[in-house]
Structure 1
């Protein structure tokens, strides 16, 4: 399967990403661009997006990037910095590139900036994933 076919297959099985209304915008080898509109169910008591939603969105983006060549990868460590509040009506866009650490072929490190569509960066995540072979 191509990276796009693999990512689409994964999305078809991923009911949580479907609930978040994630769309695949562009997918190629170890890369993906997805988007997600913010729905009212994602808003917390401060009228901003719940941090867990942003984190879950990042994890989905990471999955579509790091697994689209047929490798099964799971998160080993994750860190997030929230740099701007996300609000109802915004659309989130992460661009994800994944790469393996050359001397540690079973690990990959991903840096994942997330932006509001056509606006500024709202968070940045750093993930370390373990590739299961």
Structure 2
């Protein structure tokens, strides 16, 4: 986990209030402007009727890494849209890691890619998020 003294204050504040991330047990491994890494351990209650990780949980992990990476300044930045491709199923006990990277940011909009891998580094999902900065500030 990133040392609190070096972690950007904006994202620390955002994540301290993120109840969904806390409930999911998400761990912020890296928090830099335009780049974030977030991990979680899959729990039994995160599975669907087939005993595999629910797609919404994988999306939430990727979406959180996206949110951290696109909130780079004092402006509140939110998702304008996102798409995900599920590539591999996972099961309870596995650790998933989402790495978000800014592709481009221009004016109020941005484009970010998030790769989700399992503990062996195998691709689980690919997420592309489109951001828009609001007039609100932290």
Question: Is the structural similarity TM-score above 0.5?
Answer: yes
State the Cα distance separating 1:119 from its structure 2 match: 2.8
> Counterparts of 2:71 and 2:86 in 1: how far apart (Å)?
25
The 1-side partners of 2:133 and 2:83 are apart by 18
Matched, 1:43 2:81: no
Match of 1:113, SS state, is: strand
TM-score between both structures, scaled by the size of structure 1: 0.89
CA distance in 1, matches of 2:117, 2:35: 16
CA distance in 2 between counterparts of 1:93 and 1:132 reads 28
Q: Tell me, which stretches of 5 or more residues in structure 1 are unaligned?
A: none
Deviations 1:13-40 (A, max 9, x none): 0111001101111112221111111111
TM-score after normalising by structure 2 = 0.86
Deviations 1:48-86 (A, max 9, x none): 011011111111111111114323111111111000001
Residues 1:99 and 1:72: Cα distance change in structure 2 (over 3 Å): farther
Q: For 2:6 and 2:134, locate their aligned partners in 1 and report how far apart those are by CA, in whole Å.
A: 20
Q: Is the 8 A contact 2:103 2:113 kept in 1?
A: no
For 1:27 and 1:9, the matched residues in 2 are separated by: 12
SS of corresponding position for 2:8? helix
Provide the residue aligned with 2:115 in structure 1: 113
- Residue 20 (structure 1) aligned to one of 17, 24, 37: 24
Aligned residue for 2:82? Answer: 78
The CA distance in 2 between the partners of 1:3 and 1:67, in whole Å, is 13
1-structure distance, mates of 2:44, 2:101:
29
- Name stretches of at least 5 consecutive residues in structure 2 with no aligned partner: none
